[in-house]
Amino acid sequence: MGDTIRLFMWGYQHHFQHSLQYEAENLFNRIDKNLKPKIFLLGFLVEERDDRHKICLEPEDCGYNIDSFSNLEKLAEELEKVDGEGKIWHSHPIAQENHKNRIGNKALIDSIKKILEREDLYGDTEKYISYPTYIDGFLVFTVVEIQKAALNKHYSLTKEKFDNRFKISRSFIESTIDSYLKECSNALKDPNRGFQAIERQAEEVLRESGKQFMYTISQAGGNFNGLHGLYDACNTIASMKYEGAEGFGKLAIANKEHINLRLTLELEEPIKVSDYRKVRKFLELSTDDSIIISDSALIYGLGELVGKYNPKDESLFIINFISHFKWEVLHDNNSMMVVEYRLPNISKDKLDRTKFYSDLPRIFKNIKKRQIDKLWDITMQATQQKHGTMLVISSNAEKESDRLGKQCFAIKPMELATNIIQQITSIDGAVLLNQDSTCFAIGVILDGLATDKGDSSRGSRYNSAVRYYEQFGRKTPIVIVIISEDGMINLIPELRPQIKRSEITDRIENLRELNKLEKVERKKYYPIINWFENKQFYLSENECIEINELRKEIEQKEKEPASVWIVRNDLIPNKEMNDSYYK
C-alpha cells in the first residue's frame, strides 16, 4: 500500500522530488560539498478545482507551511502592477499573450521568494526559484536552497544585469544554479517519467553553466558580435599547440578604450577571436606584463594594464591560459572559473595558513612556532610539484621508515632544506619526516586497512593517505599533506575549527532568558537557534537535550506557530566531539 499524498499535485511528485534532490547533490557536490542544496516543489493552483489545495508543497515537511503562501496571488498582482515591463504592448496577440504570461510568472517567482525570505528571515540559506511548469491545473515551481556561508566563501560579482536589461550570472555557482533550475523546469514537462527526472549528466550541466557564465565575461567587451562563442573559443585555443609547445598567455576582455588598458602593439587589422589558429599563434607573444587586448569579438594587439582598476566597474576580465586544455577566468586577480579538459568548475582552495598553524599544535603537543614555520615552508615548496605529492609528518617517522622497509627509499636522517623539496618529491610516493623537519624516507608507499572514510571521487593518493591515517594516526600523532595534480590540497586529519566554550554556554543562557519572556523575541531567537544547528557538532549530549527542550517550550508560546515556524529536527551529539575542539 503506497503512501497517501495529502497535498496532491500528481501521482509521481514524491519520486520526482527525490530525483531532483539526488541530482542537485550530485551536481553541487562537484563544486563545493558545503553548498548542501535542499530541493522542494511548490504548486500554485491556477484552475478552479474543489478537490485540490490552492498551495501544495513536496515534501510537506520542507520547512514551510502552506498557510504562509495564503496571500501569494495578491502579492503577485501587486508586483505585476509596478513592473515596468508590464506597460509594454506587442501588436501581435500571441506575442502579447506570451509577454503577459512572462510578466505574471516573474511576479509569482518574486512573490514566492519574498515569502520564503520573510518566513526564514534569519535563516542560513539563499533561495532560488525556477520558471514554472504547468501540471494538471498547477503552476509548479522548483525551489533550491543553498547554504549562505558556503556561497559567501566564493568570489562573486555584484551586477545582475547587462545594459540594465539582460540578466547575467554573478558567478559560476550562480550560473550552475540557473542551469539546474532550467533542467528542473524542462523535466517537469514530463512529470511521470521514470526514476531519473533530469536526463542530462552533471558534466553536461556544468559545461552549459560555464558557457552561460562566459556571457558575463564577453559582455564586458561592449561588442555585440562577441557575446556568443567566447567559451568555445577559449576551449579550442587551450587545446591547440603551436610548433609542439603548450599554450600559455593572457587575454584581457574589455572595451578597447578601457581606461586601465594601453595598447603597446596594435594590429593593422584585428584578428577575429573565432580565427583560433591565428589567436593561438598570437598568444605566443603574451607574457605576464604584456597581454592580448580583446573585446571578445576581435583582438586588437598587445597591451598592458595601467592605473588602478576599480573592481566595482566589473568591466575588465582576464582569461589566463595556464596549460594544455586548462584556462581560467579572473576578475581583479580573483579566480572565478577554471576550465580543464572542457569541464568548468571553481578554483579549489589552496592550503589555509591559519588552519595549518591551528591544526598542528592540536596534533603535536608542545610543538614550537619555529617548527611549524619550517614545516610550512617545506609544504609551500611541495605545492609547486606539478604532478602532486604527499608529506607524512609523523612523531614516529624514524621507526616508520624501518617498518616500511622495501616500500620506501630510507635515507640517512637529514633536516630538510626548501631548495631540495622539488627533487625529493619528483618521484612517486610520500616524503616521511617528523615535526623537526627531519626526513627519514622518500618515495614512501603507504599501507593501511580499508576504511569507509575514503572518497571514491578522489584519486589513489588521497585514499591511501586516508587508509594509512585511519590505521596508524589514532595511536601516533600524524599529519598528512596531500597535494593533488589539480592543485587541490588537503590536510589529514581534516579537523574542524576550534571554538570557545563560552560561545556555547553564553547562547544557552540567552535561550534560557528568552524562554522566560511571555512573548517570543524572534529577532533574538532565530540567530541563536540557527547558530546551534550550524554548530551541532560541538554540542554535548546534555547541551543538546537542554537546547531541544528550550526550543520546544519557546515555540509553544507562539499562538499561531503553523504560519511562521520552521520545522526543526532535534539536535543530537556527535561521538567524535572532544575537548580538543575548544579553544
Residues 273 and 166 in one domain: no
Residues 166 and 29 in one domain: yes
Predicted confidence at residue 87, as pLDDT, reads 54
Last residue of a domain, one of 316, 345, 374: 345
Predicted confidence at residue 110, as pLDDT, reads 94
As for how many domains the chain has, the answer is 4
Predicted confidence at residue 92, as pLDDT, reads 61
Largest CA distance in the chain: 87
Q: What is the CATH number of the domain that holds 431?
A: 3.40.1700.10
Task: Specify if 4 maps to a domain.
Answer: no
**β-strands 430-433, 438-444: how paired?**
antiparallel
Residues 142 and 43 in one domain: yes
Task: Specify if 6 maps to a domain.
Answer: no
C-alpha cell at 368: 614550537
Per-residue pLDDT tens, the chain, 583 aa: give them: 345 778 999 988 999 999 999 999 999 999 998 899 999 999 999 998 888 999 999 998 888 889 889 999 999 888 887 765 555 665 666 766 776 778 889 999 999 999 998 887 667 899 999 999 999 999 999 999 999 988 998 999 999 988 777 889 999 999 999 999 999 999 999 998 767 889 899 999 999 999 999 999 999 999 999 999 999 999 999 998 755 455 588 999 999 999 999 999 999 999 999 999 999 999 989 888 899 999 999 999 999 999 999 999 999 999 999 888 999 999 999 999 999 999 999 987 677 788 899 899 999 999 999 999 999 999 989 988 878 899 999 999 999 999 998 899 999 999 999 889 999 999 989 999 999 999 999 999 998 776 667 666 566 788 888 899 988 988 899 999 998 876 678 899 988 888 899 999 999 999 999 999 888 777 788 888 888 998 999 999 999 999 999 999 888 876 554 445 566 889 999 998 988 888 8
Residues 311 and 401 in one domain: no
Task: Specify if 8 maps to a domain.
Answer: no
Gap between the Cα atoms of 499 and 581, Å rounded: 6
Residues 148 and 71 in one domain: yes
Q: What is the CATH number of the domain that holds 244?
A: 3.40.1700
Residues 74 and 188 in one domain: yes
Residues 521 and 415 in one domain: no
Residues 358 and 337 in one domain: no
Task: Specify if 30 maps to a domain.
Answer: yes
Residues 438 and 559 in one domain: no
Task: Specify if 7 maps to a domain.
Answer: no
Predicted confidence at residue 450, as pLDDT, reads 65
Contacts of 408 (CB under 8 A, 6+ apart): 401, 429, 432, 441, 442, 443, 444, 445
Predicted confidence at residue 558, as pLDDT, reads 65
Residues 263 and 410 in one domain: no
Domain that holds residue 171: 13-200
Residues 421 and 404 in one domain: yes
Last residue of a domain, one of 167, 200, 233: 200
Q: Where are the beta strands (DSSP E) in 136-237?
A: 138-147, 161-162, 166-167
Last residue of a domain, one of 345, 377, 397: 345
DSSP secondary structure string, 61-92?
TSS--GGGGTTHHHHHHHHHHH-GGGG---SS
* C-alpha separations of 468 from 392, 397, 428, 447, 476 in Å: 10, 13, 16, 6, 11
Residues 367 and 413 in one domain: yes
SS (H, E, C) 433-468: ECCCCEEEEEEECCCCCCCCCCCCCCCHHHHHHHHH
Task: Specify if 208 maps to a domain.
Answer: no
